[in-house]
Amino acid sequence: MRLAAAGVGAAQLSAVLITHLHSDHLTDLNDVITTRWISTFESTPLTVVGPPGTQAVVDSIESMLRADTGYRLAHHDDLTEAPITEVIELTEGPVELPGGPRITAAPTDHRPVEPSVAYRIEHDGRAVVLAGDTVPCTGLDSLTRGADILVHTAIRADVIANIPIARLNDVCDYHSSIEQAADTAERAGVSVLVLTHHVPAHPPGQGDEVAAIASRNFSGRIVVADDLTTVTIPEEHS
């Protein structure tokens, strides 16, 4: 639904990047696989890139979808084979995809969820880093250095620390706080820090306090992103 709202159909996807195997980062992959399959009229694989363990997840999804796949093959004469996926598992290094932008992965620290990775996407001399969920670490620092934009999670550690629920407090153990995300962006010298995956969530458009916290540690532009936020890379940064 978010792809459609952004003006991108599933049939336009050639690859999906997964940072780690927490459910909130891959639960909708089954819909992506199915929707791309039934809306694509030539047989091309969907490449799923992620850390070791991704192949097992994709295999399980395809097994779960087996009955649905059978129904659709029986109903549509022009569907002649099941969805085709190709999985690339890695923890660091270049992501070998045909054409498109240059993509590089690096290890992050989301333990006990491991391995986890971040991605750097480069095109026309510009670079964006997708941090995923992580605490500050050398892998992310190296990957982000010299990029234009860092997209990072935003955990309100100051709020969570005052909630007497251990399971919620544990969230701070393996996510970066707003301040830590801002520190990572400042060390890397990026122009724009995009904060997302907000915990706890705030109403859309009411992220001024989040931005104010980040601004204490980061001197560049700060975007507190809601779903479908669009960010333009500044012309002056290279």
Q: Which amino acid is at 84?
A: I
Decide: 87 and 55 in contact? Cβ < 8 Å: yes
Structure tokens that stand for 36 in this block: 């791309």
The closest of 73, 11, 13 to 41, measured between CA atoms, is 11
Decide: 147 and 129 in contact? Cβ < 8 Å: yes
Does 208 qualify as catalytic in the annotation? no
Find the catalytic residue in 24, 77, 78, 124.
24
Sheet bearing 192-199, strands edge to edge: 93-94, 102-107, 117-123, 126-130, 149-155, 192-199, 221-224
Strand partners, 94: 104
Q: Could you tell me how many residues make up the chain?
A: 238
By annotation, the residues acting in catalysis are 24
